[in-house]
A and B are shown apart, each in its own frame.
Chain A
Amino acid sequence: GENVEQHPSTLSVQEGDSAVIKCTYSDSASNYFPWYKQELGKGPQLIIDIRSNVGEKKDQRIAVTLNKTAKHFSLHITETQPEDSAVYFCAAPSGNTPLVFGKGTRLSVIA
Chain B
Amino acid sequence: SAVISQKPSRDICQRGTSLTIQCQVDSQVTMMFWYRQQPGQSLTLIATANQGSEATYESGFVIDKFPISRPNLTFSTLTVSNMSPEDSSIYLCSVGGGEPNSPLHFGNGTRLTVT
Contact = CB atoms under 8 A, between A and B. Distances in A.
A41 B9 CA distance: 9
B107 A43 contact: yes
Contacts of B48: 98
Interface string B5-45: 00000000000000000000000000101000000011111
A41 B110 CA distance: 10
Given A89-B42, A98-B33, A98-B45, A43 B108 contact: yes
A10 to B, nearest CB: 11
Interface residues of B, number: 26
A103 B42 contact: yes
A97 interface: yes
Interface stretch (B61-69, B70-78, B79-87, B98-106): B98-106
A101 B106 CA distance: 13
Interface of B: 1, 4, 31, 33, 41-45, 48, 56, 58, 92, 94, 96-97, 100-109
